[in-house]
Structure 1
């Protein structure tokens, strides 16, 4: 299947579209960190106010996710591993002692039913080669972004905040190329979790790639 770009915006138009949707983007991305605030609570926190029943730690994490979106929306740098590290530094500022540093220890990911996916070591040279090859691929910006996002989620490049970081770097490329945004609506969260777990276990990208192309690419036709 050829995953052509579904939306065709200028970079500035895509930036404005992202900024108009910051609250919803932060609201959904917060689920990666097991934060279950409502949309209105998320907006209140993004406005700089506290919310009863939401811990200071969760408030701080939401604020950093918002800052991550602000960073990628206004940044003109090309996609690089260093840029991914900068994003991770922002989103894990209050949650990790190794914020922005590549993972150096073996790690495991719980994929449900008491099953664990064991992660390979992060090899920086290999990650740079992957990134260089992907960026040079003769495929759409949308497909590049999805492949980058899912590779980074499965590779777990950092000690914490990997899903958020992977989503942000992928959206940076989407915005730069006017291709819209990648965002998983909460009503599709159960199916997405099922697909990402299968991808972790098998390393086979086709199913989640095709589903994501059909369901989680958002934009406007002008």
Structure 2
């Protein structure tokens, strides 16, 4: 839903179990299967024990973009715009991105706060040509799960407000507004 793939829960379940469902585009089916593969990857016992770093994010982006881009986990080298926003992200510098992700991941803060900062940094930076929101959320979840901090999921009913807050954040609103929303409405613990 976050990326405009409008499927019901039963349709998503059918795609995950059988790889197909009638009345859906191949692109939407591929996006859902890619998300499944990315989640399977981060939940692997060895992977969840690995660092949440640029290389992890790049591999997640590669999985999310599989079938759409030959190198979906490669840092973008062309300008992009963000629909509905005046914010134009600058071209990312690989060394700066690596350093910033490492700095955030090493912060001495609650796991949820670090995960939210990782997620929003990656979304705002628009590191890849496509799939940034999908890869960022899964990357944040890798960090959260690895640190026993639950998981972050944006429920369908919260997507419109999340997108509004994200645009405001892109355009300069303080991180505390969207971070509070994510903690109160999207953070799940067991």
What TM-score range do you get, normalising by the shorter chain?
over 0.9
Per-residue deviation, residues 39-80 of structure 1 (Å, max 9, x unmatched): 000000000242110112211221111000000111132111
**Aligned equivalents of 1:165, 1:153: Cα separation in 2:** 9
How many Å apart are 1:183 and its aligned residue?
Answer: 0.5
Unaligned 5+ segments in structure 1 are 1-30
Question: Residues 125 and 161 from structure 1, CA distance in 2 versus in 1: closer, same or farther, beyond 3 angstroms?
Answer: same
Which of 58, 73, 95 matches 2:68? Answer: 95
Find the structure with the greater CA-based Rg: 1
How many Å apart are 1:193 and its aligned residue?
Answer: 1.2
Q: TM-score, normalised by structure 2?
A: 0.94
Higher relative contact order (CA 8 A, sep 6+): 1
SS of equivalent to 2:169: helix
**Aligned equivalents of 1:60, 1:132: Cα separation in 2:** 31
Question: Residues 212 and 87 from structure 1, CA distance in 2 versus in 1: closer, same or farther, beyond 3 angstroms?
Answer: same
Give the match for residue 152 of structure 2.
Answer: 182
**Aligned equivalents of 1:93, 1:140: Cα separation in 2:** 32
Unaligned 5+ segments in structure 2 are none
SS of equivalent to 1:164: helix
Per-residue deviation, residues 75-118 of structure 1 (Å, max 9, x unmatched): 1321111111111111101122431110111111112xxx4321
**Aligned equivalents of 1:77, 1:132: Cα separation in 2:** 13
Question: Residues 137 and 157 from structure 1, CA distance in 2 versus in 1: closer, same or farther, beyond 3 angstroms?
Answer: same
Give the match for residue 7 of structure 2.
Answer: 37
Q: TM-score, normalised by structure 1?
A: 0.81
**Aligned equivalents of 1:175, 1:143: Cα separation in 2:** 13
**Aligned equivalents of 1:135, 1:119: Cα separation in 2:** 22
**Aligned equivalents of 1:35, 1:211: Cα separation in 2:** 23
**Aligned equivalents of 1:71, 1:57: Cα separation in 2:** 21
- Number of residue pairs matched? 187
Q: Runs (4+) of structure 1 moved beyond 3 Å?
A: none
